[in-house]
Structure 1
Amino acid sequence: MKIDPVTREFVRWVSWMHLGFYRMWSGATPLNRNTLILTTRGRKTGREISKPLLYYQQNERIFVVASYGGNDRPPAWYLNLVANPEVTVEIGSSRGTYRARTLTAEQKKETWPRLVAIYPTYNDYQQKTSRDIPLVELVPA
Structure 2
Amino acid sequence: MTGIKLPDYLPAWMSDHVNTYLADGEAGHLWDATLGGGEGMLTTLLLTTKGRKSGKTLILPLIYRPSGDGGYCVIASKGGAPAHPAWFLNLQANQDIHLKVANDEFKAVAKIASGDERERLWTLMENYFAPYARYKAATDREIPVVVFYPA
Instruction: Output the TM-score relative to the length of structure 2.
Output: 0.80
Q: Give the conservation status (yes or no) of the 8 Å contact 1:36–1:92.
A: yes
Unaligned stretches of 5+ in structure 1?
Answer: 1-7
The counterpart of 1:48, out of the listed 42, 47, 57, is 57
**How far did residue 122 of structure 1 move?**
0.4
Runs of 4+ deviating beyond 2 Å: 11-15, 29-33
Kindly indicate whether residue 115 of structure 2 is the aligned counterpart of residue 116 of structure 1.
Answer: no
Who is 1:103 aligned against? 113
**How far did residue 45 of structure 1 move?**
1.5
The alignment's C-alpha RMSD in Å is: 1.8
Structure 1: distance between partners of 2:117 and 2:87:
21
Q: How does 1:1-141 map to 2 (within 5 A)?
A: 9=9, 11-29=10-28, 30-31=31-32, 32-57=41-66, 58-141=68-151
Q: Give the conservation status (yes or no) of the 8 Å contact 1:82–1:101.
A: no
Q: Give the conservation status (yes or no) of the 8 Å contact 1:41–1:84.
A: yes
Q: Residues 135, 15 of structure 1: CA spacing in aligned structure 2 closer, same or farther, 3 A cutoff?
A: same
Structure 2: distance between partners of 1:75 and 1:27:
26
Instruction: Output the TM-score relative to the length of structure 1.
Output: 0.85
**How far did residue 13 of structure 1 move?**
3.0
Q: Give the conservation status (yes or no) of the 8 Å contact 1:27–1:35.
A: no
The number of residue pairs the alignment matches comes to 133
**How far did residue 14 of structure 1 move?**
2.8
- State the secondary structure of the residue aligned to 1:138: strand
**How far did residue 59 of structure 1 move?**
4.1
Cα deviation, 1:81-134, whole Å, max 9, x if unaligned, reads 011123111011110110012112442111111111210110110000111110
